[in-house]
């Protein structure tokens, strides 16, 4: 393995790749598969890891059992399966492909009987992919909602609380439709604290949030939404099924990979070359630039050699009327980090999304070196102005410091590491 003392950036990139490997369905899923039912097994997979979870299931499933289904994933994240049909759709703003796939899934699930099994394979990204607006809400209106949520700066739990209440499939409604069939959900968590009702907006689990919660979130972030969505959030009949609902008596859920478990495995394998390892945990939330500044202060006061690692999901708030370039939360975090470090010697960093996509761009994240600001200045870039304009992708692209992985087909949120020599 590359030593951080000899090649800090190479070693940081290997550390990120290790975290991704620990989250791969091929490594984690098989041990959690249920016994085949008397009847047929219908697989519904949704999220950025949907295709790889489906493939891992097929590889381990008994060959003489009745297995079929649909795996719905982001464009470019698919792979070939033998019995499960893999479909691709848009993320983070849904499209017609996601809508039509969701309609097919709803129709298939509605046909299940008491001897059948609904095996749900859920991962991050499923909220946008499983797009099935409630009656009276159009796909275009749902797109408007998604765009407003993405620009609001709201954490993922709050975004999904709103999504669940205007959906025919989220917030436990898929389990409601599947009854009386048995429902088993295997999930890869991409959310802080691993709340199963937040991962892909919890299609098979009880929803602890309410219509009142959703309305409060819309008001708090000043979202302007279509009249049909506002009306839906005022309709008491639109409330999602709760814990006491008997539909959940025949459902189970198992986390097969979480940000915390992956971070622990990665840290455990780091070795002495990384010095003292300070883990800030896998559930960090907050504004990306604020997190970057805070972590910079920790780095400059650390006694090297030290490595600071963390996971979680930061947010980027884009104020109305603010110029907005090409961003991504990890790049914004790193640009704020670099500015706060102000050329401090012997500090390197990486921040990248384990799904290979930083927001909606083609990179996973980027890296910071001690001479990041100096190289940017030599190219005529104003780091602070680019941070103010949410143009961090362009900043690191021009430096040649983007981390490009392509689709990883898993998703346990962001991985960050700062190495202080």
Closest CA to 106 of 74, 125, 132: 132
pLDDT of residue 192: 83
> What is the C-alpha to C-alpha distance for residues 385 and 269, in angstroms, rounded to an integer?
39
3-state secondary structure 161-215: HHHHCCECCCCCHHHHHHCCCEEEEEEECCCHHHCCCCHHHCCCCCCCCCHHHHH
pLDDT tens track for 349-401: 999 999 999 988 999 999 999 999 999 999 999 999 999 999 999 999 999 99
Decide: 239 and 211 in contact? Cβ < 8 Å: yes
160-174, 240-254, 306-320: least confidently modelled range:
306-320
pLDDT of residue 52: 98
Question: What DSSP character marks residue 80?
Answer: -
- pLDDT for 410 beyond 90: yes
pLDDT tens track for 86-145: 999 999 899 999 999 999 999 999 999 999 999 999 999 999 999 999 999 999 999 999
- Confidence tier at 64 by pLDDT (50, 70, 90): confident
pLDDT of residue 333: 98
DSSP bridge partners of 419: 307, 348
Q: What's the pTM value of the predicted model, to 2 decimals?
A: 0.91
More confident: 153 or 394? 394
Q: From 3.50.50.60, 3.40.1480.10, 3.40.1160.10, 3.40.50.150, which CATH number describes the 8-21+260-420 domain?
A: 3.40.1480.10
Domain 33-257: homologous superfamily in CATH: Glycerate kinase, MOFRL-like N-terminal domain (3.40.50.10180)
pLDDT of residue 153: 85
Same fold for the pair 8-21+260-420 and 33-257: no
- Confidence tier at 32 by pLDDT (50, 70, 90): very high
- pLDDT for 1 beyond 80: no
Decide: 343 and 404 in contact? Cβ < 8 Å: no
- pLDDT for 170 beyond 80: yes
- pLDDT for 319 beyond 90: no
pLDDT of residue 360: 82
Question: What does the pLDDT average to over 291-309?
Answer: 96
- DSSP secondary structure string for all residues of 24-42: -HHHHSGGGPPPP-SS-EE
Closest CA to 63 of 87, 89, 45, 36: 36
- DSSP secondary structure string for all residues of 86-138: EEEE-SSS--HHHHHHHHHHHHHHHT--TT-EEEEEE-TTHHHHS--BPTT--
- DSSP secondary structure string for all residues of 226-261: -HHHHHHHT-GGGPPP-TT-GGGGGEEEEEEE-HHH
> What is the C-alpha to C-alpha distance for residues 44 and 280, in angstroms, rounded to an integer?
35
pLDDT of residue 267: 97
Question: What does the pLDDT average to over 202-212?
Answer: 98
pLDDT tens track for 188-206: 999 888 999 999 999 999 9
- pLDDT for 65 beyond 90: no
pLDDT of residue 151: 85
User: Position of tokens 């500090």?
Assistant: 347
pLDDT of residue 237: 92
**Domain coordinates in residue numbering, the chain:** 8-21+260-420, 33-257
- pLDDT for 320 beyond 80: no
- Confidence tier at 323 by pLDDT (50, 70, 90): confident
Question: What does the pLDDT average to over 301-322?
Answer: 89
pLDDT of residue 196: 96
What sign has the CA pseudo-torsion 173, 54, 363, 190? Answer: positive
> What is the C-alpha to C-alpha distance for residues 181 and 164, in angstroms, rounded to an integer?
22
> What is the C-alpha to C-alpha distance for residues 103 and 76, in angstroms, rounded to an integer?
21
């Amino acid at each position: 393995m590359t030593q951080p003392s000899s090649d800090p950036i190479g070693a940081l990139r290997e550390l990120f790749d290790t975290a991704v490997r620990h989250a791969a369905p091929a490594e984690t899923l098989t041990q959690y598969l249920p016994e085949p039912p008397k009847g047929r097994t219908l697989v519904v997979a949704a999220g950025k890891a949907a295709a790889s979870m489906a493939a891992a299931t097929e590889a381990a499933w008994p060959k003489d059992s009745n297995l079929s289904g649909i795996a719905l994933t982001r464009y470019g994240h698919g792979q070939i399966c033998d019995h499960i049909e893999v479909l691709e759709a848009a993320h983070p703003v849904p499209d017609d492909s996601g809508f039509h796939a969701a309609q097919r899934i709803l129709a298939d699930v509605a046909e299940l009987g008491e001897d059948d099994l609904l095996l749900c394979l859920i991962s991050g990204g499923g909220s946008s992919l499983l797009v099935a607006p409630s009656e009276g809400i159009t796909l275009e209106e749902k797109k408007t909602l998604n765009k407003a949520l993405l620009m609001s700066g709201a954490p993922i739990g709050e975004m999904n609380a709103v999504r669940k209440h205007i959906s025919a499939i989220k917030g436990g409604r898929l389990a409601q439709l599947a009854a009386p069939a048995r429902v088993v959900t295997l999930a890869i968590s991409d959310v802080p604290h691993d709340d199963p009702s937040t991962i892909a907006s919890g299609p098979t689990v009880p929803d602890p949030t309410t219509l009142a919660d959703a309305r409060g979130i819309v008001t708090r972030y000043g979202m302007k939404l279509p009249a049909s969505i506002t009306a839906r959030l005022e309709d008491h009949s639109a409330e999602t099924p709760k814990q006491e609902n008997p539909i959940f008596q025949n459902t189970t859920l198992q986390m097969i990979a979480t940000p915390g478990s992956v971070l622990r495995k990665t840290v455990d394998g780091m070795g002495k070359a990384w010095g003292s390892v300070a883990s800030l945990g896998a559930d960090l939330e907050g504004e990306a630039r604020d997190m970057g500044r805070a972590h910079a202060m920790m780095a400059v006061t650390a006694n090297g050699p030290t490595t600071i690692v963390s996971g979680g999901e930061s947010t980027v708030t884009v104020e109305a009327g603010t110029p907005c370039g090409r961003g991504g939360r990890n790049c914004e975090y790193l640009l704020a980090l670099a500015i706060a470090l102000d050329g401090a010697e012997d500090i390197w960093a990486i921040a990248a999304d384990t799904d290979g996509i930083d927001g909606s761009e083609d990179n996973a994240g980027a890296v910071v070196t001690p001479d990041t600001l100096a190289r940017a200045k030599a190219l005529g870039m104003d780091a602070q102005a680019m941070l103010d304009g949410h143009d961090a992708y362009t900043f690191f692209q021009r430096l040649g410091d983007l981390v490009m992985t392509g689709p990883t087909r898993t998703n346990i949120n962001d991985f960050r590491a700062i190495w202080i020599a």
